[in-house]
Amino acid sequence: MKISAIVVNYNGEKYIKECLTSLLAQTKKPFEIIMVDSFSTDGSKTLLESFKEIKTVFLSKNAGYAAAANTGIRLMRGEAALILNSDTRLKPDFLEKLSNSAAKQDKSFGMFSGKLLRQQDEKLVDSAGQFIRKSIRPIERNYGKKDENYPAGQIFSACGAVMLLKKELLEGLRFEDEYFDEDYFMYFEDFDLGLRASRLGWKCYYEPAAVALHYRGGSDSVQKNKFFLFRQKPLKLKRHLLANRYLVLTKNASAGMLIKYMPFVLVYEIFFWLYLLVFDIKVIPGMKKYFKLRNKMKLKGKILKGKGEKEITRWII
């Protein structure tokens, strides 16, 4: 399988060298490496220009994760895309282990995940595959905990920090000229992709022997959980997170699913909105994005609503 590695970067100057060096040192070489820089304002551009063996695309604005990833996908010539953030680093045999595992699976498997450990502390897991909470939110299995050595096998989806996607799957999910939904800008785009893939019958495989490292939260310490990471994010990004929570539900959650899990959804929403009202009220105007895009999301969702419902609910934990 010819694999195109697509690296998405925005102001990741302090991570880029390790990320790209780890790609170049793989025991199974990527067919090509495409770096998409989303208008970084740090020293990323100067550093990237020193990697002559890598194709680099500099976008004219910060277009967000989804648009940057899509740019790389449109340029790729491989049979599968290894999409990764610039704040990740791969163990030398990552691509070999993951591609060998992928080759053994039947054609219904189009998405693949390795084991992501914390770059700050390799004893802790960043993601052992993505699943779905009963409040209908994505959850990274074993997030921030010690490794439980989950066996290889089918999971719901892969974390967007490092994911391998067959080109056939990507083309099957393409809506107009987009693979990842660019209306999210960033956050929830990997969850949305996983939901759409499941509805169309695509499966995801977890291979723990393929290990990568992810610097979750940038300079945040390893003790901090997602709540603290949310509090420390820039206001603009927190507003995207808020709006995208409801956009992904509008697009992907059926009435039956919402009714079935309503108690869990309500508990989460009550506590989250209490937090916003008391501690982070400036985030609430982010809902303007939701009201602006909700009808558009409804139209996108109509294409797949009702398909693969049992497969999705299978992964709700």
At residue 232, the pLDDT reads: 81
Rounded distance, CA 58 to CA 46, Å?
11
At residue 223, the pLDDT reads: 42
Rounded distance, CA 70 to CA 183, Å?
12
Phi/psi-derived region of residue 76, left when phi > 0, alpha when psi is between -120 and 50, beta in every other case: beta
C-alpha dist (Å) from residue 123 to 132, 149, 226, 248: 24, 12, 18, 32
Spell out the residues 6+ positions from residue 226 whose beta carbon is closer than 8 angstroms to its own.
143
Rounded distance, CA 81 to CA 73, Å?
7
Cα dihedral 293, 226, 273, 258 sign: positive
CATH class of 3-214: alpha beta
At residue 57, the pLDDT reads: 96
Angle at which helix 235-252 crosses helix 189-199, to 10 degrees, equals 10
At residue 221, the pLDDT reads: 38
Burial class (CB in 10 A: 0-12, 13-18, 19+), 64: buried
Q: In the 8-state DSSP scheme, what is residue 145?
A: S
Rounded distance, CA 219 to CA 227, Å?
15
At residue 123, the pLDDT reads: 92
What is the residue-level pLDDT of the chain in tens, covering all 317 positions?
999 999 999 999 999 999 999 999 999 999 999 999 999 999 999 999 999 889 999 999 999 999 999 999 999 999 999 999 999 999 999 999 999 999 999 999 999 999 999 998 999 999 999 999 999 999 999 999 999 889 999 999 999 999 999 999 999 999 999 999 999 999 999 999 999 999 999 999 999 999 999 997 643 334 455 666 787 888 999 999 999 999 999 999 999 999 999 999 999 999 999 999 999 999 999 999 999 999 999 999 998 877 888 899 999 99
Burial class (CB in 10 A: 0-12, 13-18, 19+), 165: buried
C-alpha dist (Å) from residue 65 to 62, 70, 226, 287, 301: 9, 9, 19, 20, 21
Residues of the chain with CATH 3.90.550.10: 3-214
3-state secondary structure of 164: strand
Q: Which two tokens stand for residue 253?
A: 């959650």
Contacts by residues 142-145 (CB-CB < 8 Å, ≥ 24 positions apart): 143/226, 144/118, 144/222, 144/225
Q: Where are the beta strands (DSSP E) in the chain?
A: 3-9, 32-37, 55-58, 80-85, 88-90, 109-118, 125-127, 130-132, 138-140, 153-155, 162-166, 203-214
Spell out the residues 6+ positions from residue 200 whose beta carbon is closer than 8 angstroms to its own.
172, 173, 304, 307, 308
Rg (CA), the chain: 19
Count CB atoms within 10 A of the CB of residue 243: 26
